[in-house]
Amino acid sequence: MAKSVEDLPYIPLMSESSAVNKTGVWRVIRPIVNQEECNQCYTCWKFCPDVAIQIDEEGNILIDYDHCKGCGICEAVCPKNCIEMVKEE
């Protein structure tokens, strides 16, 4: 929301993470990981330009759908072909 002049700092500093931008709304196709087949090589994690793939404590791949834009890189690079891109509804 737009702030009034009194509520703004003296300079427009960037103090908030861009993670508040929910870029997941851009997505028209959605990556779905087949955890069964995943061998946890993390190739997908490595190449995601949106930092939208996380590794959980067990070492599993998690897709952050709030930010994943659906570029399809993870699908393209997965050596196990265990990511599938499906149309968003």
Partner 1 sequence: MIQIRFHGRGGQGSVVASNILAAAAFLEEKWVQSFPFFGVERRGAPVTAYTKIDDKPIWDRSEITEPDYVIVLDASLVAVVDVTHGLKENGMVLLNSESKPEDIELGDGFRIATVDATEVAVAHGLGSKSAPIVNSAILGAFSKASGEVDIKSLEASILKMAPAKHKENAAAALEAYEKVQF
Partner 2 sequence: MAKLTIPQEELMSSGHIGCLGCGATLAMRYLLKALGKRTMVTIPAGCIAIMSGIYPRSFLKVPLLDVAFETTAASASGIRAALDAKGIKDVYVVGFGGDGGTADIGIQALSGTAERGDNIIYVMYDNEAYMNTGIQRSSATPFGAWTTTTPVGTTGDFKKRPKKNMVEIMVAHDIPYAATASVSYPEDFVKKVQKAKDMDGTKFFHVFSPCPTGWRFSPEMTIQMGVLAYQTTVFPMYEVENGVYRVTKKPAKRKPVTEYLKLQGRFKHLDDETIEIIQKNVDKNWEMLLAKAEFTKKYAE
Partner 3 sequence: MPMDVMTGNSAQAYGAKLARAEVVAAYPITPQTTVVEKLADLVASGEMKSQYIKVESEHSAMAACIAASATGARAYTATAAHGLALMHEMLIWAAGSRLPIVMGNINRAMAPPWSVWADYQDSIAERDTGWMQFYCQNNQEVLDTVIQAYKVAENHDILLPAMVMEDAFYLSHTFEPVDVPPQKDVDDFLPPYDPPIKLDVDNPVGLWALVPPDHYMEFRFKIAKAMEDSRKVIQEVDEEWEKKFGRSHGGLVERYRMEDADAAIIAAGTMSSTARVAVDNMRDKGKKVGLARLRVFRPFPYEEIRQIAKEVDSIGVLDRSYTFGHGGAFYTETAGALYQAPERPHVKNYVIGIGGRDIPPKEIEGILEKVLSKEDGGEVEWWGLRTSGSREVN
Which residues of this chain interact with ligand SF4, rule CB under 6 A? 31, 33, 38-44, 48, 50, 52-53, 61, 63, 68-74, 78, 80, 82-83
Encoded tokens for 68: 């994943």
Longest Cα separation, the chain: 55
Altogether, the residues listed in the chain come to a count of 89
Does residue 69 contact residue 51 with C-beta atoms inside 8 Å? no
Identify what 83 binds: partner 2, partner 1, ligand SF4, none; CB under 5 to 8 Å per kind.
ligand SF4
Binding-site ranges for partner 1 (CB under 8 A) = 23, 25-29, 69-70, 85, 87-89
